[in-house]
């Protein structure tokens, strides 16, 4: 009798597992037919890895198709395929998305703000390396752990707006992006000047130029501070003169990076459809650097 019951139980479990799988398959079909992803089936469906280099442009309308890499298709497919893991690793949610060509190689990086509650917002930066999307820098270690690879940087960004990423030009005519990163709480603040560059393998790089860390007592008085220039300890005077010299030597070109925040333009939901709509709008908002 016990054995019969066990068999019935096993059959019931199998039926419920099969029943559970069905909606998931349907959901996957839905995801794989999301805008911009229809011609690249998810890896698990075909068992084949996507082509590693020179992915052909899929449609003539997609932004980025003109320069050879269908970056909008690659990022959209990545978010679609990895949506559950992205949502899980971002914990509180994805607050905003922008596409900014931080290393000026004509393929924008994907910049994602998290919903963490602090003085400024955490930034996650993704790049396309060898045709695949990889996390390069992450304020949230959960995102770096899941999506970071060989090119993952220990430098991470906290800021508030996409326009905090500034396109600069040096006296010798070299153009590069910077961000003034920082965060704080009641008892500390930090401020960091970061420059972006391009590695030989095409990955965006982050370099800490200047750094200041301050501690405060209950009355808000600074009780301790330490300074670094190029990761080497320096004095407050050297920090200030280095900061002034940087902005005297390099000119802000006035480029305004554009993206979408989930509550700014319209209330994008934090589910699949909402995030995909925010990403699509951020792709449309991308401003190519001349």
Binding residues for Ca ion (CB under 5 A) = 101, 103, 105, 107
- List % helix, strand, coil for the chain (3-state, nearest 5): 30, 30, 35
Nearest approach in angstroms of CB 107 to Ca ion is 5
Give the residue with the Cβ less far from Ca ion, 103 or 114.
Answer: 103
Environment class of residue 76 by beta-carbon count within 10 Å: exposed (0-12), middle (13-18) or buried (19+)? buried
Nearest approach in angstroms of CB 133 to Ca ion is 12
Environment class of residue 232 by beta-carbon count within 10 Å: exposed (0-12), middle (13-18) or buried (19+)? exposed
Nearest approach in angstroms of CB 100 to Ca ion is 8
Nearest approach in angstroms of CB 162 to Ca ion is 15
Give the residue with the Cβ less far from Ca ion, 43 or 67.
Answer: 67
- Please say whether the beta carbons of 127 and 115 come within 8 A: no
Nearest approach in angstroms of CB 65 to Ca ion is 16
HSE at residue 232, side-chain half, CA atoms within 13 A, is 3
User: Three-class SS of residue 121?
Assistant: strand
Kindly give the pairing relationship between strand 165-169 and strand 175-185. antiparallel
Give the residue with the Cβ less far from Ca ion, 114 or 127.
Answer: 127
Give the residue with the Cβ less far from Ca ion, 196 or 227.
Answer: 196
Q: Check residue 164 and report its DSSP letter.
A: G
Give the residue with the Cβ less far from Ca ion, 198 or 225.
Answer: 198
Give the residue with the Cβ less far from Ca ion, 105 or 238.
Answer: 105
Number of Cβ atoms within 10 Å of the Cβ of 3: 7
Which residue, among 17, 38, 40, 42, has the nearest Cα to 28 in the 3D structure?
Answer: 42
Nearest approach in angstroms of CB 210 to Ca ion is 24
């Amino acid at each position: 009798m016990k054995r019969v019951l066990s068999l019935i139980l096993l059959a019931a479990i199998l039926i419920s597992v099969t029943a559970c799988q069905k909606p998931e398959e349907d959901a996957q079909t839905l995801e794989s037919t999301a805008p911009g992803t229809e011609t690249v089936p998810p890896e698990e469906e075909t068992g084949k890895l996507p082509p590693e280099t020179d992915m052909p442009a899929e449609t003539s309308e997609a932004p980025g198709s003109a320069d050879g890499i269908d970056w909008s298709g690659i990022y959209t497919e990545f978010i679609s395929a990895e949506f559950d893991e992205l949502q899980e690793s971002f914990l509180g949610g994805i607050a905003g998305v922008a596409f900014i060509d931080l290393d000026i190689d004509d393929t924008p990086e994907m910049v994602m703000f998290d919903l963490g509650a602090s003085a400024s917002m955490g930034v996650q930066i993704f790049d396309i390396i060898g045709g695949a999307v990889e996390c390069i820098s992450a304020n949230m270690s959960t995102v770096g752990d899941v999506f970071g690879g060989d090119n993952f940087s220990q430098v991470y960004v906290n800021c508030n707006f996409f326009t905090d990423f500034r396109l600069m030009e040096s006296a010798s005519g070299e153009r590069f992006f910077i961000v003034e990163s920082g965060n704080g709480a009641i008892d500390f603040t930090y401020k960091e000047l970061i420059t972006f560059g391009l590695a030989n393998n095409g990955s965006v790089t982050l370099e800490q130029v200047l750094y200041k860390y301050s501690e405060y007592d209950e009355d808000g008085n600074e009780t301790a501070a330490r300074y670094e220039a190029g990761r080497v300890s320096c004095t407050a005077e050297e920090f200030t003169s280095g900061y002034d010299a940087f902005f005297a030597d390099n000119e802000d070109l006035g480029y305004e990076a554009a993206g979408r925040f989930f509550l700014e333009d319209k209330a994008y939901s934090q589910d699949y459809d909402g995030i995909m709509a925010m990403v699509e709008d951020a792709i449309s908002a991308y401003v190519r650097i001349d």
